[in-house]
Structure 1
Amino acid sequence: AGAACGGLEHKMGIHGNATCVMDYDKAKGWLVGTENKGMAAMFVMMNEARLGTGLQGLSIGTAAYQAAVEFAHDRLQGRSLTGPKSPELPADSIMVHPDVRRMLLEAKAFVEGGQAFTLWTALQADLQHSNDAAEAQKAHDYMGLITPVLKAYLTDKGFHVASLAMQVHGGSGYTEHFAASQYLRDARITMIYEGANGIQALDLVGRKLPANGGRAIMSWFADIDAFVSENGAEGPIKPFVDGLADAKKKLQEGTMWLMQNGMQNPDNAGAASTDYLHIFGLTALAYMWAQMAKAAQAQVDAGTSDPFYANKLMTGRYFVERILPDTGAHLVKMKTGAEVLMQMPAEAF
């Protein structure tokens, strides 16, 4: 009888999910579980929820991408810069415009890389229960290390894709006639709840990297090095392997910078954390794309007539050439440290 609803929240999105303020002023509480172990129990739930939230960000981005592709095929506007592609029609579809393709490929490369990253992480969740103790420990280490990356990176980029999808729709996307605006509103919460993405970045650099003497990140680097050494010879997938090797090198450099500068001034770790997490996310997707490229190229070499594999390689090429270079910018930014962030007096903002 002591619990009462104090009022409904009117939210930006996820309107199918009711949120309210609960008042417990006169309520009686019972201890559930062991005293002073509530936080530990909560984090079991929270870590699983963070994985689900990463999947949610990816899924909304996927739906937004699919809607944008459908719109781009149907929307006739202008002519191709290199001459009409559908002269029998009053205009070409906007699929002929390079900048529309930029937005769609940006979305497609993220969506397909993110799906592989999610499945890879799900595999680690299963391998935690392996009868091989070393394999189980490694998978358990990876689940701890990867959870903040998957949550923050997939939700940041899921929202970015939803925004690109609205842009593809043009003014139509800003109306409620199309689903683009709902995808954008709904995607925004994923960056906030289950631990805002800045908290995920702090968890990564403050807890997950130093855990067990850095055992998880060293294993991650070793796995990537092994893949690169096995697949780095000349051949069609060399750009994917080279891109992965370069991203891993930058992630390793960022990790060393954190070790050297984060200990002496914790603000340096805080200031670098988000850029570091994005380098990690880009490296993870580079690892997934290199593995997908290897599998797809094997099918192409075997003479498959299924265009799925050639399309996969073209999408991956976009990732390597036009998304993966962001690792360099993130590394430069994180290495500037905390000074430029902390020197300004609070009242000057």
Structure 2
Amino acid sequence: MQYTAPLRDMQFVMHELLDSQSHYAKMAEYRELDTETINSYLEAAADFAQSVLSPLNRTGDLEGCRFDDGQVSTPTGFKEAYEQYCELGFASLNAEPEYGGLGLPTSMSSAVSEIMGTANWSFAMYPGLSHGAIQTIEHHGTDEQKATYLEKMNTGLWSGTMCLTEAHAGSDLGIIKTRAVPNDDGSYSITGQKIFISAGEHDLTENIIHIVLARLPDAPAGTRGISLFIVPKFIVNADGSLGERNGVVCGSIEHKMGIKASATCVMNFDGATGYLIGPKNRGLNCMFTFMNVARIGTAIQGLAASEFAFQGSLKYAKDRTAMRAISGVKEPNKPADSIIHHPAVRNMLLTQKAFSEGGRALVYYLSQFADIVAKGDGVEAKFADEMLSLLTPIAKAFLTETGYEAANMGVQVYGGHGFISEWGMEQNVRDTRIACLYEGTTEIQSLDLLARKVLGSQGKMLANFTKIIHKFCQEHKDDDRMGQMISTLAKLNKQWGDLTARIGMQGTQNLDAVGAAAVDYLFFSGYVTLGYLWARMAVVAYARLDEMNQSLDTDKSLHGEYGFYDAKVKTAQFYFAKLMPRHAVHVARINASHETLMAMDIEQFAF
């Protein structure tokens, strides 16, 4: 399938819904960033993604990566595409200008990442991991480390990875075994094995900078005893040139369900030279810089899956004819009606559209808080950090789950053809399935949201957001057109707090009640969060329609824009009518006793 960047909707979210100009005006570094500049970057990204990356999506899936004695070759065309990606400046979008970056905000790079990722998620994985490595060094590295690594990483000449997972320790990082022994020169000798390392080895860059979690010999047990290290593929000489090969080698690449053009590596560290970054035994705290960036990136993958599925499904549903519409013939010049006239198909298309456009609003909304955390100060930055902490697990888990649902609907709309690889829908399902797993599974994100962020803050983080929703509902409660949306949103916003209090009380008696409720709580949170954003989009769209109604009859050029805003309102109405009611199932499951989960003895699961 040929991808087309949804620039009009991206611009709507950035400029009209989230008022990018006012947002950037609050921060000195971004004050000069205007709408025209933003749009020019989006258009350049769209041109590159559509003409270069999209055609490589299926060929990369078919060819995959090749492994030969520790060396990894990316699919045909990837190396040339990466060089062009770097030449166009996309590798350095939001990196600091001091080290060769363009200094643009996260909210800008997130939009570009959406374009690249939807066109070709496997390709986007290579530079995507570098961004987190760069930010980790920016935030926690010494001046010498920044001078050594950042400029070449920012230009894309070198890339970066995050090396956390070990075979016996997935998300439970407290039990990792990789060791770091001090050397006489102040460096460390790193020994151990890491698995599932995206872009751990490839042929796109001349050096790969691994960010590695390991334990010092005298480290305390658990997560309090983990340190963070920079381990380059090639040692960097004092003059910045590349020296000898370090003791880190790719042992194999994984044979995967999807994202086959992205190298997922087993990395063996055999006395590799590493350099401590950040304080000893505080590596996990430093790594959170990396992990939050990665989780926002994974949320974008969920958005990308919904958008890709929607674009493919819409085109097919308009072209494919099958039977007559049950309400009467729609296309008498054809032997059958296009399937877009069938209510069941419409339901799938609108679900994909609602998740895609709602997910875009959530990612961009989240990214604006990331901008403020990076460049704001005082009370505003603290508030933004708390909002980012609350919304990141919702965005990561909810958007990847709904993205996977939308991808499956893509196959369903195509029918039997969806099961055939040429159409691209089955690849989308395979590619996006990993998004619900890596950077913390849905279940882990759910527990993080409920136990750590909401209950752990005594409800403060949640209250920050529910107050925003309450204020919005109060401002628009008298708008007759918004009446049903606002009343529903206000009711669920209050219920969010009530559910939280009930789960908290149950948790004081038995913490299993918290674990049992967590996933359903996250889904409830996701539906309300997207509901808030869809209601906001409807308010903006109604205002634009009111403006155009005054001159629509005399200015025919407005018809296309009128249709855009009218569709936005109708999609919001669909979301509240058909998708928001799903919350009730999650409430019922939360209210059901957790004891049914824990009552059975382990031996009783199978006989």
- State the TM-score, normalizing by the size of structure 2: 0.56
Structure 2 residue aligned with 1:307, among 545, 563, 579?
A: 563
SS of residue in 2 equivalent to 1:160 = helix
Aligned equivalents of 2:398 and 2:581: distance in 1? 16
Q: Which has the higher contact order (CA 8 A, sep 6+)?
A: 1
SS in 1 for 2:250: strand
- AA at the equivalent of 1:83: G
Q: Does residue 1:240 correspond to 2:485, yes or no?
A: yes
Q: Is the 8 A contact 1:61 1:183 kept in 2?
A: no
Mapping 1:176-191, distance limit 5 Å: 176-191=421-436
Please give the per-residue CA displacement for 1:321-342, whole angstroms capped at 9, x wherever unaligned. Answer: 0100111111110122421111
Partner of 1:60: 305
Which range moves more in the overlay, 4-13 or 200-209? 4-13
Partners of 1:128 and 1:7 in 2: how far apart? Answer: 38
After superposition, residues 91-170 of structure 1 pair within 5 angstroms as 91-129=336-374, 133-170=378-415
Match of 1:47, as an amino acid?
N
Q: 1:104-148 deviations in whole A, cap 9, x for unaligned?
A: 011111111111111111121123356563222211110011110
Residue number in structure 1 paired with 2:445: 200
CA distance in 1, matches of 2:588, 2:369: 31
Residue 32 of structure 1 is aligned with which of 271, 276, 280?
276
Provide the residue aligned with 2:599 in structure 1: 343
Relative to 1, partners in 2 of residues 1:147 and 1:46: Cα closer, same or farther, differing over 3 Å?
same
The residue aligned with 1:318 is: 574
Q: Which moved more, 1:239-248 or 1:145-154?
A: 239-248
Q: Are the structure 2 counterparts of residues 40 and 132 from structure 1 closer, same or farther at C-alpha, using a change threshold of 3 Å?
A: closer
- Matches of 2:410 and 2:263, distance apart in 1: 26
How many Å separate the matches in 1 of 2:358 and 2:262?
A: 29
Query: In structure 2, how many angstroms separate the alpha carbons of the residues matched to 1:82 and 1:264?
Result: 56
Moved more, 312-321 or 334-343: 334-343
Between the aligned partners of 1:15 and 1:151, the Cα distance in structure 2 is 22
Alpha carbons 2:306, 2:353 under 8 Å: kept: no
1:186: Cα distance to partner?
Answer: 0.4
More displaced stretch, 291-300 vs 208-217: 208-217
* 8 Å contact from structure 1 (residues 162, 180) kept in 2: yes
Q: Where does residue 583 of structure 2 map in the other structure? A: 327
State the distance in 2 between where 1:20 and 1:128 align: 33
Specify which of 272, 278, 298 is matched with residue 543 of structure 2. 298
Q: What is the alpha-carbon distance in structure 2 between the residues aligned to residue 64 and residue 70 of structure 1?
A: 10
- Counterpart residue identity of residue 580, structure 2: L
User: Alpha-carbon deviations, 1:264-308, whole Å to 9, x = none?
Assistant: 211110000000001111111011011111111111222164211
Structure 2 residue 453 is matched with structure 1 residue 218: no
Match of 2:481, SS?
Answer: coil
SS in 2 for 1:81: coil
Does the 8 Å contact 2:318/2:339 carry over to 1? yes
Rounded to whole Å, the distance in 2 between the matches of 1:72 and 1:150 is 29
Deviations 1:89-109 (A, max 9, x none): 111100111100011011111
Per the alignment, residue 286 of structure 1 pairs with 531
State the TM-score, normalized to the length of structure 1. Answer: 0.96
1:69 to 298, 314, 324: 314
Alignment RMSD, CA only? 1.6
Aligned length: 348
**Secondary structure of the equivalent of 2:421?**
coil
Deviates more, 1:92-101 or 1:302-311: 302-311
Deviation at 1:54, TM superposition (A): 0.4
**Residue 263 (structure 1) shift:** 2.6
Larger fraction in helix: 1
**In structure 1, C-alpha distance between the alignment counterparts of 2:378 and 2:268, rounded to whole Å:** 47
In structure 1, give the amino acid aligned to 2:414. Answer: H
Secondary structure in structure 1 of the residue aligned to 2:509: coil
| Counterpart residue identity of residue 570, structure 2 | M
SS in 2 for 1:35: coil
Once residues 256 and 127 of structure 1 are traced to their aligned partners in structure 2, the CA distance between those partners, rounded to angstroms, is: 30
The answer to whether the Cα contact below 8 Å between 1:286 and 1:324 also exists between their aligned partners in 2 is yes
Deviations 1:250-275 (A, max 9, x none): 21222111211123211110000000
Name the SS of the counterpart of 1:6 in structure 2.
strand
My pick for the range that moved more, 247-256 or 270-279, is 247-256
CA distance, structure 1, for counterparts of residue 273 and residue 459 of structure 2:
41
C-alpha distance after superposition, 1:218-246 (max 9, x if no partner): 11111111111111114111122112112
Task: Answer yes or no: is the 8 Å Cα contact 1:250–1:327 preserved in 2.
Answer: no
Distance 2:589 2:572 in 1: 26
How many Å separate the matches in 1 of 2:252 and 2:593?
A: 43
C-alpha distance in 2, partners of 1:131/1:20?
A: 37
| Whole-angstrom CA distance in 2 between matches of 1:50 and 1:82 | 45
Per the TM alignment, residue 348 of structure 1 is displaced from its structure 2 partner at its CA by 2.0
What code does the residue aligned with 2:455 have?
P
Which amino acid in the other structure matches residue 125 of structure 1?
A
Please report how far the alpha carbon of residue 60 of structure 1 lies from its aligned counterpart in structure 2 after TM superposition: 1.7
CA contact (8 A) 1:173 1:180 kept: yes
Q: Distance in 1 between matches of 2:576 and 2:412?
A: 23
Q: Which has the higher mean CA deviation after the structures are superposed, 143-152 or 30-39?
A: 30-39
Is 2:295 the counterpart of 1:50?
Answer: yes
What one-letter code is carried by the residue in structure 2 that aligns with 1:334? Answer: I
Q: Distance in 1 between matches of 2:522 and 2:369?
A: 20
- For 2:252, the equivalent position in structure 1 comes to 7
Amino acid at match of 2:265: C
In 1: Cα distance, 2:534 partner to 2:250 partner: 48
Deviations 1:170-225 (A, max 9, x none): 00010112100110000100000011110000111111113443321111111111
Q: Provide structure 2 residue ranges, at least 5 long, that are not aligned to the other structure.
A: 1-245, 553-558
Aligned to 2:40: none
**Larger Rg belongs to:** 2
Q: 1:110 to 1:100 in 2, by over 3 A?
A: same
CA distance in 1, matches of 2:455, 2:512: 16
